[in-house]
Structure 1
């Protein structure tokens, strides 16, 4: 989970940096640029990205919780039936590993959904602070492109979540319907 939180946090940190650039303007940004090119700044940025990744992941999970619950009810009518399925899944290591991988991809998609919206907004604000040819066109293209990517992350998260719930329900039903092999006593020495 460390890597996925860091991947999400890097996007959040980039959006924050763009927002700062938009707020302080071009001349101050040029003065601060050498400070950003240091080992200390890289270390602080990495730590900040991890912390921001945790916050972004939690915010995205909270924002998408109503949709997630709605998707879950298609495969699990109650929260307790889902919880029981998750506990049952933990007993099957191969399936648990697949489910962990799917959850990792879902976390990245939901985090980058928020990141893409934040990056689009921050980029547009930063572009407003700089004067250049075709500024309005570049801002419009940036905004449209960012919103399309955000929608793509939403669709990917939704598809991954739906598939994850469906597969979990199918795998648990299959595991529960498989005949269990009874414990057979081992042959031992014959008694006289």
Structure 2
């Protein structure tokens, strides 16, 4: 994956994490002037870099958290889709063999780009599933400890609940599409892959 694409992906995920942090700060400290000043200055050119850096770092944290939370489910789906007869204890051998075949076969640049684009969508869906749950928690904490009952916060909670369901469903669809596509590519390709080319990790 190109560095620019990865950066944009982490910023997309980090934006939701930043919203969670801001809501949490308002819950802990209330409507402090320094919070309003920090938010109001976020459109200043001099403050864009540190704010973007924070969003990027939070994106990394949430991405890795989501990876760990979804890993067992993804590994189970991979082992079921890519079953192979093998004496090795690794149940994911079939999946990694298919990935290795894709990355090491000749003339597959376009296929690799399509595969990585699909992986990017999966990671964004995973990240925003976590983000949505965190934001729901932050909204409810704010309502409990700061504002009391607020219909707008209740609407926000419902909206992010629907978003959490939507991105979780999108993750399952994107994952199924990826596995089916990769399985078809592996079965249809007649090229013998090279064995000395490193393959990116499956995240």
TM-score (norm 1): 0.82
Tell me by how many angstroms 1:136 deviates: 4.3
Q: Measure, in 1, the Cα distance between the counterparts of 2:163 and 2:14.
A: 17
* Separation in structure 1 between the aligned mates of residue 95 and residue 34 of structure 2, nearest angstrom: 54
Does residue 28 of structure 2 align to residue 23 of structure 1? yes
Q: Which residue does the alignment assign to 2:79?
A: 73
- Larger of the two Rg values belongs to structure: 1
Is the counterpart of residue 86 in structure 1 residue 102 in structure 2? no
Whether 1:56 and 2:70 are equivalent positions in the alignment is: no
Q: What is the aligned length? A: 173
1:149 has 2:166 as partner: no
Q: 1 CA distance for matches of 2:14 and 2:150?
A: 29
1:118 counterpart (134, 141, 152): 134
1:33 to 33, 36, 42: 36
Measured after TM superposition, the shift of residue 130 of structure 1 is: 2.7
Give 1:142 deviation, angstroms. 2.5
> Structure 1 residues 55, 89: CA separation in 2 closer, same or farther (over 3 Å shift)?
same
Displacement over 6 Å in runs of 4+:
none
Structure 1: how far apart are the matches of 2:35 and 2:172? 40
- Name structure 2 gaps, 5 residues minimum: 1-5, 84-90, 192-203
Classify 1:35/1:16 alpha carbon distance in 2 versus 1 (closer, same or farther; 3 Å).
closer
1:8 matches 2:13: yes
Q: Which residue pairs with 2:119 in the alignment?
A: 103
Q: Per-residue displacement from partner, 1:134-166 (whole Å, max 9, x unpaired)?
A: x34334333222222101111100110111011
* Distance (Å, rounded) in 1 between the aligned partners of 2:97 and 2:38: 52
Preserved contact between residue 76 and residue 82 of structure 1 (Cα < 8 Å):
yes
